Amino acid sequence: MTCVIENLDEMKAWSRRLPLEDRNLGFVPTMGYLHEGHLALVRESKKICRQTVVSIFVNPMQFGPTEDYAHYPVDLERDRALLKELDVDVLFLPKKEDLYPGGFCTSVRVAGLTENLCGGSRPHFFEGVTTIVLKLFHLVQPDRAFFGEKDRQQLGVIRKMVRDLNMGITIEGRPTIREPDGIAMSSRNAYLAPEERQSARALYLALQSGKALIEKGERSADAVRTHMRSIIESHPRTRIDYVSVCDPERFTELERVEDSALLALAVHVGRARLIDNCLVENISCSASC
Amino acid sequence: MTCVIENLDEMKAWSRRLPLEDRNLGFVPTMGYLHEGHLALVRESKKICRQTVVSIFVNPMQFGPTEDYAHYPVDLERDRALLKELDVDVLFLPKKEDLYPGGFCTSVRVAGLTENLCGGSRPHFFEGVTTIVLKLFHLVQPDRAFFGEKDRQQLGVIRKMVRDLNMGITIEGRPTIREPDGIAMSSRNAYLAPEERQSARALYLALQSGKALIEKGERSADAVRTHMRSIIESHPRTRIDYVSVCDPERFTELERVEDSALLALAVHVGRARLIDNCLVENISCSASC
């Protein structure tokens, strides 16, 4: 039976009551408007953890002043039904005024990993993410937390925070879930008009094509970037935020593609800003390995 | 029996093993070279908590490049003996390379409370303090943590961090312990040559005299500052860092002294930078209340 908790102290007390022996609490923090990507994380948690908490909170601190906080899609009834069906133990629904009361002024920053890619175009984004995730971790006290690889920089940043701050939580990354035509699942896909939906395929196509280019032997990161750019630009209604061929751990741009590379994109399609990425590994082996 | 733990995972495991029922673990984080101020905190923890952990770690992150990190006084043998005598449960001695491994890049900031006083003259100080305290809290997982009121801004900043980050740890502040002549106990008093020791009394004398001025009816904060400055300047070998008459919660300078005021000082005496403060409350009542 899924228990709904809104109160912060209640959430904390619920978690504290779990028996210590073989404690294994899984946590999936979300901003709601759940899609298969979220649900795959929840199923993973259900599979490998003893209990599972899912939170839904649209975090104002990670949105810039001109971004889509006010319009972020919400469908709490549908989300509740989906999570009940998956039989999660707790649906945690904290309130904005409880998480950010008047005078709130503390923030957490992971320097070094947050300057580029999404951190470059959304300067306060990662500070907003790390701060809310740290707060939620303190409230839920999970043993494992699940994040999708679609937000691979976020995954890396949270892993670093947890390690640097000695939190002892295992961060579990899971593969991006895609629509049949390749588009990465995202709550923001709801912004796309039908013609924009077609253009949104540009991200997936550019990543696949960039990866193929590397597998064929291209080693110049600039050549790969230019190639991916041209694919995106050939799709109408797209505006590139960034096209990156970077180090998969440090998110710094590469000059040469050697052992591994992260191809990462952020593209505005209509009023949606979409991101996607593809990790290319074992590049020095033959293309078949 | 006092158990000495150096390993971070061991510290965490020790704390995790404590029975949940009526859990009440007290924690006194220190930089060592213990004096009566520290020991009073330890005794308080022993009195009101079930177990007590004391940590000793000279935290490089809270020292500026020109400050006294390299010369900070150390006497681990004496500290160990004192803590054994007080029968603390754990002496936690983490290593610098474990707390700050290569690539460490995460920090916590409490904006708003950290711009003035010690935060003004030591720009990275509070970020260093909040980051190490958060790390130690994650490792020790205390129910209560004890801090001296000599570092009253630090106490306020840590309280705010714990509240903002939903940590559920009770922060216990305890009064400054003083030498018979009024000087606040501090590990840095060890830097003072005998003549400097005399000049170091200037801080206590200025605070007492500033407080008396307010109790006699002075309401101009500037008049109180000027008065305290003149007392300090009348002592040789002193160099003022700041003289503050501020709001006791927000640490912003006051114009008028109304209900309550914090008198706070930082003064270089020889090569020691000393701080002290005095809270003046219920000012609107008569001086006798």
Pairing of strands B90-92, B51-56: parallel
* Fold annotation for A3-174: Rossmann fold (3.40.50)
Q: Could you tell me which chain A residue has the CA closest to the CA of B162?
A: A106
Share of residues in chain A with pLDDT > 70 (%): 98
Q: Could you tell me which chain A residue has the CA closest to the CA of B160?
A: A106
Dihedrals φ, ψ of A137, to 5°? -60, -40
Reduced to 3 states (helix: H, G, I; strand: E, B; else coil), residue A238 is strand
Which of A17, A106, A168 is opposite residue B110, by nearest beta carbon? A106
Q: Closest Cα to residue B41, out of B188, B185, B147?
A: B147
- Record: contact B106-A165, CB cut-off 8 A: yes
A82 burial type by CB count under 10 A (0-12 exposed, 13-18 middle, 19+ buried): middle
Q: What is the pLDDT of residue B206?
A: 98
**Which tens digit of pLDDT belongs to each residue from A35-78?**
999 999 999 999 999 999 999 999 999 999 999 999 999 999 99
Which of A103, A108, A138 is opposite residue B167, by nearest beta carbon? A138
- Record: contact A161-B106, CB cut-off 8 A: yes
Q: Could you tell me which chain B residue has the CA closest to the CA of A11?
A: B166
Joined together, the tokens standing for residue B46 give 């022993």
Using an 8 Å CB-CB cutoff, list chain A residues near B251.
none
- The active-site residue out of B35, B38, B235, B268 is B38
Is 90 exceeded by the pLDDT of residue A21?
A: no
- In this structure, the dihedral spanned by the alpha carbons of residues B214, B220, B223 and B225, taken in order and rounded to 10 degrees, is 80
Closest-CA distance of chain B to residue A25, Å: 15
In one-letter notation, the amino acid at residue B220 is: S
Closest-CA distance of chain B to residue A135, Å: 5
Q: DSSP states of A242-268 as a string?
A: EEEEE-TTT-PBPSB--S-EEEEEEEE
For residues B162-184, give the mean pLDDT.
Answer: 97
A91 strand-pairing partners: A4, A54
Cβ–Cβ under 8 Å, residues A108 and B107: yes
Q: Catalytic residues of A, which ones?
A: 38
Using an 8 Å CB-CB cutoff, list chain B residues near A160.
105-106
Provide the total of helices (H) and of strands (E) in chain A, helices listed first. Answer: 10, 10
Using an 8 Å CB-CB cutoff, list chain A residues near B168.
12, 138
Q: Label each residue of chain B as H, E or C.
A: CCEEECCHHHHHHHHHCCCCCCCCEEEEEECCCCCHHHHHHHHHHHHHCCEEEEEECCCHHHCCCCCCHHHCCCCHHHHHHHHHHCCCCEEECCCHHHHCCCCCCEEEEECCCCCCCHHHHCCCHHHHHHHHHHHHHHHHCCCEEEEEHHHHHHHHHHHHHHHHCCCCCEEEEECCCECCCCCECCHHHHHCCHHHHHHCHHHHHHHHHHHHHHHCCCCEHHHHHHHHHHHHHCCCCEEEEEEEEECCCCCCECCECCCCEEEEEEEEECCEEEEEEEEECCCCCCCCC
Cβ–Cβ under 8 Å, residues A215 and A287: yes
- Record: contact A105-B110, CB cut-off 8 A: yes
* Fold annotation for A187-280: Pantoate--beta-alanine Ligase; Chain: A,domain 2 (3.30.1300)
Using an 8 Å CB-CB cutoff, list chain A residues near B134.
165
How far is C-alpha B136 from the chain's CA centre?
Answer: 16
Please state the domain extents for chain B: 3-174, 187-280
Which of B103, B106, B164 is opposite residue A104, by nearest beta carbon? B164
Is 90 exceeded by the pLDDT of residue A145?
A: yes
Joined together, the tokens standing for residue B241 give 């860092």
Which ipTM score applies to this complex? 0.95
Is 60 exceeded by the pLDDT of residue B278?
A: yes
- Find all residues with CB under 8 Å of B212, minimum gap 6, and list them: none
At B182, is the pLDDT very low, low, confident or very high (cuts 50, 70, 90)?
A: very high
Closest-CA distance of chain A to residue B167, Å: 6
- Record: contact B113-A105, CB cut-off 8 A: yes
**Which tens digit of pLDDT belongs to each residue from A186-220?**
999 999 999 999 999 999 999 999 999 999 999 99
Cβ–Cβ under 8 Å, residues A181 and A201: yes
Active-site annotation holds for B38? yes
For chain A, the residues whose C-beta falls within 8 A of a C-beta of chain B are 8, 12, 16-17, 20, 99, 103-113, 130, 134-135, 138-139, 160-161, 164-168
**Which tens digit of pLDDT belongs to each residue from A86-130?**
999 999 999 999 999 999 999 999 998 999 999 999 989 999 999
Closest-CA distance of chain A to residue B138, Å: 6
